[in-house]
Amino acid sequence: MSPSNGTGSGPLTFILTSIPGLPMSSSWMALPLCCLYLLMLLGNCTLLWMIKTDHGLHTPMYYFLSILAMADLGLSLSTLPTMLAIFWFESTSLRFEACVVQMYFIHCFSAIESGVLVAMAFDRFIAICYPLRYASVLTGSLITKAAGVIFTRGIIVVLPVAILMKKMPFCGSRVLSHSFCLHQDMLRLVCGDVRVNSLYGLTAVILTKGLDSLTILLSYMMIIRAVLNIVTPETRAKAFSTCIAHLSAVLIFYIPLIGLSITHRFGKHLPPLTHTLLADAYLLVPPVLNPLVYSWKTKQIRRRILILLCRRGTQV
């Protein structure tokens, strides 16, 4: 069954929205946006390159960090075509099929990133609570299996969302609230019964971000209990400092996500700019900040970057 466009003529297209109150041709917005995407590409690709080439970084923590960088790349590249099309070329129309594909990849990579944050929380839990068993528990085989489960879960859980959306009839307004396609935003334009879509969408969120956030919370409760049992303050501070980068990544990912979910369900009276900024922050901020946070807070990566900069300086 193909989606109805409500008029019976021509392919179904959606109209994407730029930032409310901002002209689409604003080059002062397009240029920073390009810089943001370039920074994201540079940061995450640099992380992947360093982890691949530096044998000192071939540990479980950095393997999970490389998976996080790949998820960040996928999430950002999912929004890149429509964002640049709007702000550079003033092109706001998007075919329904393309919109569904973009929606799928956005939610898929978001679920994958959430799963990676859980795996990194487990890594910190084992490193602090059972340091002597760290190498024997987090083997290469376990990491490979964990990565496979994380990617498979994201692909399978989100797939029915896209399938159900393709069967929905659309009529009336076709103007979306963002510069990209999101599930709840597309459901708003459906003129049929959306109870099944809404119920499965909520179930998918609970099975991914809901369970993930609960698992991360429980992990850190046990980590805090283990850290507080350490006798010397210096060792206690050193143990907890290894979690700062991961905690920052968790907050960077979940705070915009929670804010966006709340405004979608309960903030219909809020101005459109609020919804737009939260959605942009949810999709653009984590991929940009995660490499910066880990580069600054992780001594091994920071040392590697300094060595590269020193070599480049001597060559010049």
Instruction: Give the domain CATH number at 289.
Output: 1.20.1070.10
Residue with tokens 């991961």: 246
Find out whether 104 and 182 touch, Cβ atoms under 8 Å: no
Q: Name the 3-class secondary structure at 244.
A: helix
**Residue (of 194, 175, 202) closest to 272 by Cα position:** 175
Find out whether 172 and 11 touch, Cβ atoms under 8 Å: no
Tell me, yes or no, whether 66 lies in a domain. Answer: yes
Tell me, yes or no, whether 241 lies in a domain. Answer: yes
Which tokens go with 78?
Answer: 């999912």
Q: How far is CA 138 from CA 42, 148, 294, in A?
A: 29, 15, 20
Q: Packing angle between helix 195-205 and helix 140-166, nearest 10 degrees? A: 170
Q: How many CA atoms lie within 13 A of 231 on its CB side?
A: 0
pLDDT reported for residue 81: 87
Which tokens go with 240?
Answer: 């907890």
**Residue (of 188, 197, 119) closest to 151 by Cα position:** 119
pLDDT reported for residue 160: 94
| Range of the structural domain that residue 222 is part of | 25-300
What's the CA gap between 204 and 151, in Å, rounded? 15
Tell me, yes or no, whether 12 lies in a domain. Answer: no
Tell me, yes or no, whether 211 lies in a domain. Answer: yes
Which tokens go with 204?
Answer: 């998918």
In degrees and rounded to multiples of 5, residue 249 shows phi and psi of -65, -40
Number of domains comprising the chain: 1
What lies within 8 Å, CB to CB, of 301 at 6+ separation is 47, 50, 57, 294, 295
Tell me, yes or no, whether 217 lies in a domain. Answer: yes
In this structure, the number of other CB atoms found within 10 A of the CB of residue 237 comes to: 11
Tell me, yes or no, whether 276 lies in a domain. Answer: yes
**Residue (of 103, 94, 101, 105) closest to 11 by Cα position:** 94
Q: How far is CA 11 from CA 94, 168, 180, 294, in A?
A: 10, 14, 19, 45
Find out whether 176 and 93 touch, Cβ atoms under 8 Å: no
Tell me, yes or no, whether 110 lies in a domain. Answer: yes
Find out whether 12 and 95 touch, Cβ atoms under 8 Å: yes
pLDDT reported for residue 1: 47
Per-residue pLDDT of the chain (316 residues; tens, 9 = 90+): 456 555 455 678 888 887 765 555 556 677 888 888 999 999 999 999 989 988 888 899 999 999 999 999 999 999 988 888 887 877 888 999 999 999 999 999 999 999 999 999 999 999 998 988 999 999 999 999 999 999 999 999 999 999 999 988 888 778 888 888 988 888 888 888 888 998 998 899 998 999 999 999 999 999 999 888 887 888 888 888 888 989 999 999 998 888 877 877 676 677 777 777 888 888 888 999 999 888 887 777 777 777 666 765 565 5
pLDDT reported for residue 97: 92
Tell me, yes or no, whether 220 lies in a domain. Answer: yes
Residue with tokens 């980590």: 223
What's the CA gap between 226 and 222, in Å, rounded? 6
Q: Is 6 left (phi over 0), alpha (psi -120 to 50) or beta?
A: left
pLDDT, tens digit, 9 for 90 and up, residues 37-88? 999 999 999 999 989 988 888 899 999 999 999 999 999 999 988 888 887 8
pLDDT reported for residue 297: 74
The predicted model scores a pTM of 0.89
What's the CA gap between 10 and 4, in Å, rounded? 10
Residue with tokens 């129309």: 93
Q: How many CA atoms lie within 13 A of 213 on its CB side?
A: 14
